[in-house]
Amino acid sequence: MAGEAPAACIFCQKGETMTAEAKLKKTKKHGSWKNVFRHWELYAMMLPGMIYLIVNNYIPMAGLVVAFKKYNYKDGIWGSDWAGLSNFKYLFSTRDAALMIRNTLGYNFVFIVTGTVFAIVVAIILNEIRAKVPKKIYQVFILIPYLISMVVVSYIVFAFLSTDSGFINKTFGSHINWYMTAKYWPVIFVIVNLWKSFGYNSIIYYATVIGIDSSLYEAAVVDGASRWQRIWHVTLPGLKPTIITLTLLAVGRVFYSDFGLFYQVPQNSGLLYDVATTIDVYVYKGLMLLNDVGRSAAAGFFQSICGFILVLTANLVVNKVDKDNALF
């Protein structure tokens, strides 16, 4: 009987542990609801945004079924005949599929590399400026292009590239018809995108730079590090998490393109079709000009799936290399 006491005690301890765990779970459950009621003002403030997100982003996802339908306006979405994968089959059997995927991916990868490098350089330069007033002025000026509509940007580009009265042709005495010559436009797209977008990313990187512990720079100065060595060994490692996060977000949108950049800026010139047709432009033309709803929806659906897969893949790679900087 004396030998059974320890066993009984063990069972008692197990029972007490299970009871404690059950109580803890119950407390957490009730505690979470208590937090909701305690901070109801914050949840009430969040509610309009959540409603907008659901109505604007999630409910319309039911329309993805259009990509698998032979859509006609008379029967509507649910009454139209089922097409299966025929819309996708047609999409990938045309020359346009390879063209728009090549352009979308190619431009976006160049935009990511050039935009990231240029934004980091500008952020570091801003950090090296000590005078407060000039620094604020520079920040405002580099941010202005980001706030300008792409329609306005298209007129600015036209002022430079107009055949008869453009700044470039008049200044250099050339007679290039820019809107009919495709070979120049890949470079023009990169320059325009860089000019418009680098300011916003620069401000984000600059905010990260000023958040780096100043004692690290002081220690580097004491050790005799030059300015370039401080940038290389302190600033850039401090920017690493931000670079990874912004790059992951950009990779997730690599199958998307700035519609205004590729449609408004070249002014929908037919001679620039091979260099200006991206997935977004193709979807717009298919929907608005050709009135082909099913194939346009198929292209958009393909775009979304590829973007989703790319985000998961890129995040998985980051997880393997540096788990702390992964998105999830």
CATH of domain 86-325: 1.10.3720.10
Q: Report which of residues 313 and 35 the model is more confident about.
A: 313
Structural domain boundaries in the chain: 1-56, 86-325
Number of neighbours of residue 248 by Cβ within 10 angstroms: 19
The reported pTM is 0.78
- The average pLDDT across 228-239 equals 90
Q: Write out pLDDT tens, residues 159-191.
A: 999 988 889 988 888 888 999 999 999 999 999
Q: Write out pLDDT tens, residues 50-88.
A: 999 999 888 888 888 888 888 888 888 888 888 888 888
Number of neighbours of residue 23 by Cβ within 10 angstroms: 10
Pick from 192, 167, 168: nearest CA to 267: 192
pLDDT the model gives residue 8 = 47
Q: Write out pLDDT tens, residues 241-281.
A: 899 888 888 887 888 888 999 999 998 888 998 999 998 88
What the block records as the tokens of 283 is 């979807």
pLDDT the model gives residue 52 = 92
Q: Return the half-sphere exposure (C-beta side, CA atoms, 13 A cut-off) of residue 274.
A: 7
- The average pLDDT across 210-220 equals 88
Q: Write out pLDDT tens, residues 298-314.
A: 888 888 888 888 888 88
| First vs last C-alpha separation in the chain | 55
* 155 pLDDT tier (thresholds 50, 70, 90): very high
142's torsion region: left (phi>0), alpha (psi -120 to 50) or beta? Answer: alpha
* 193 pLDDT tier (thresholds 50, 70, 90): very high
Give the percent of the chain with pLDDT over 90.
30
